[in-house]
Amino acid sequence: MGKPTGFLEYQRVDGACVPPLERIRNFNEFHRGLAPKEQQLQGARCMACGVPFCQSGRMISGMASGCPLNNLVPEWNDLVYHGNWEQAYYRLEKTNCFPEFTSRVCPALCEAACTCNLNGDPVATKANERAIIENAWNTGLIRPNPPKIRTGKKVAVVGSGPSGLAAAMQLNRRGHQVTVFERHDRIGGLLRYGIPNMKLEKDVIDRRIRLMEEEGITFVTNTDIGKDRKAKELLKEFDRVLLCCGASHPRDIQAPGREAKGIWFAVDFLRTVTKSLLDSELQDGQVPKIRGKHVVVIGGGDTGNDCVGTAIRLGAKSVVQLEMMPQPPLTRAENNPWPEWPRVCKIDYGQEEAIAVFGHDPRIYQATVSEFIKNKKGDLTHLKIVHLEPQKDEKTGRTVMTPVPESEKQIPADLVLIAAGFLGAEKYITDDFQVALTARTNVMTDDGGYQTSVPNVFTAGDMHRGQSLVVWAIREGREAARTVDESLMGYSNL
């Protein structure tokens, strides 16, 4: 695949990014693609390796190596190199429902597993994917293709995040009548309100939703299943119900002073900012006033980074990000060999912007909050943070982060954003459907499957596997759609 000597002849080249001090003036996407001819040379770097780990999607040492969707990466890299953009799209869409999403927000597990990573830079697979799908949209390759025959079966999909949308697309292609229910005012779930515009502009979602509507899928917004409509009602109206509600129950930080004003869960903060941006260009007064204030983000990962970038755009005076774990190494450790996912320290866009604005990385490692300090009005003013060190628990043998005595210090904080992860599915939904749960409050299914403990009720995405990546959610949605189809028809060609 690609040019046999391409990885030797061509260097990796990424599209330009808008400089940090310029891009923080707005919420627009800031990655720029290469010209088509230049992008084709990036396809030439795919080295025809004997075992393409990039598309394997296997778990190695508890981490994913390669694309969970098993994208046919070497094939469409070769087609990009030869300028056959149409066939490249047809190969891409065989495995991925929404390349326009993954090519923007996925951390590129394919590139981490690329053989070129052994002694150089990986193939720019993520950028090639984005070039393929955007070319397909721009040239009219993507058109409504409603099913020619309907089965007469009705399926309700609860939740319009990536897993719900992927399942809806597949089930509709099979000929079932699909209705997607969303509790918020716009379709998209995590894609809409969990990922900021600078990573995924919302017209990219709207473009896909319009196509899905033209293909026959019905979308119902402002309907909270479990509250506005009950499980019994859905099970009576639909032949099958697929729960794709996400792991939207946030993990809290229980420390003295938690009741202080000015403490937000990250998911609520990001949703409020995006909704205000879409509704009124931030003019409706719904977003907390951040300009000139000290912001502290508790937690790392994509959500913590998104909070950093968002706070900077809203004019924060300072931004600090607390990370409980030690700082990862700058390069792979000996016990973390390729093709494992690299456990290394990365500077994401939010940290890059903080460095440009404030002159330093916002992260403080091995630290957590021991107290929220408020004034007489109940407003948050400071945090008391404590240093942590790893210690082995003698009973369990596990390493736990333990507070260091007399290591507390105060830092200013007018607004705190808790990005400490999620604990599982919303209780009111699982209670209404009476589905069995795992110890981690995810919806329980048969091993490796998607059927819940309740007949005709299935589940997929974060609600099933726990908080994860968009690419995993799409895979789960596709696999769950096949399972639902088999239960309805006795077999599946999905």
**Strand ranges for 58-121 from DSSP E:** 58-60, 63-65
Q: Which of 136, 128, 107 is nearest to 13 (CA)?
A: 128
Measured CA to CA, the distance from residue 147 to residue 203 in angstroms comes to 25
Cβ neighbourhood burial of 490 (10 Å; 0-12, 13-18, 19+): exposed
| 422 strand-pairing partners | 250
pLDDT of residue 475: 97
- Tokens in use for 102? 């993954």
pLDDT of residue 280: 98
pTM of structure: 0.96
**Strand ranges for 111-265 from DSSP E:** 154-158, 177-181, 218-220, 240-243, 263-265
Q: What amino acid is encoded at 469 in this protein?
A: L
Measured CA to CA, the distance from residue 383 to residue 370 in angstroms comes to 8
Contact 319, 297 (CB under 8 A): yes
**Strand ranges for 244-394 from DSSP E:** 263-265, 294-298, 318-323, 363-365, 367-374, 380-392
Cβ neighbourhood burial of 436 (10 Å; 0-12, 13-18, 19+): exposed
- pLDDT single digits (tens) 333-365: 999 999 999 999 999 999 999 999 999 999 999
Q: What amino acid is encoded at 159 in this protein?
A: G
Non-local CB neighbours of 479 within 8 Å, separated by 6+ positions: 450, 460
Radius of gyration of the chain (CA): 23
Cα-Cα end-to-end distance for the chain: 27
Q: Which of 54, 75, 51 is nearest to 66 (CA)?
A: 54
pLDDT of residue 305: 97
- Residue 248 phi, psi dihedral angles, 5° rounding: -100, 15
- Upstream peptide bond of 288 is cis (omega within 30 degrees of 0): no
CB neighbours (10 Å) of residue 311?
29
Measured CA to CA, the distance from residue 322 to residue 384 in angstroms comes to 12
Measured CA to CA, the distance from residue 263 to residue 252 in angstroms comes to 11
Q: Which domains does the chain have, with CATH numbers?
A: 6-138 (1.10.1060.10), 154-248+423-489 (3.50.50.60), 263-418 (3.50.50.60)
DSSP state of 245: -
Q: Measure CA 306 to chain center.
A: 11
pLDDT of residue 1: 62
Cβ neighbourhood burial of 248 (10 Å; 0-12, 13-18, 19+): buried
Question: How far is the CA of 459 from the CAs of 45, 326, 466, 479, in angstroms?
Answer: 39, 35, 12, 10
Question: How far is the CA of 487 from the CAs of 157, 176, 458, in angstroms?
Answer: 15, 12, 10
Task: Output the CA torsion 211→214→217→218 (10° steps).
Answer: 110
Question: How far is the CA of 352 from the CAs of 300, 346, 359, in angstroms?
Answer: 14, 10, 10
Non-local CB neighbours of 425 within 8 Å, separated by 6+ positions: 243, 245, 246, 247, 248, 249, 437, 441, 442, 443, 463
CB neighbours (10 Å) of residue 223?
13
| 225 strand-pairing partners | 229
Measured CA to CA, the distance from residue 272 to residue 268 in angstroms comes to 6
Q: Measure CA 52 to chain center.
A: 24
CB neighbours (10 Å) of residue 93?
17
Question: Among positive and negative, which fits the CA dihedral 453, 62, 192, 288?
Answer: positive
pLDDT of residue 248: 84
- Tokens in use for 427? 């209780």
Longest dimension (CA), the chain: 71
In this structure, the strands spanning 367-374 and 363-365 are unpaired
Task: List the chain residues with pLDDT less than 50.
Answer: none
- Tokens in use for 324? 């409980």
Measured CA to CA, the distance from residue 265 to residue 273 in angstroms comes to 13
Task: Output the CA torsion 129→135→141→144 (10° steps).
Answer: 80
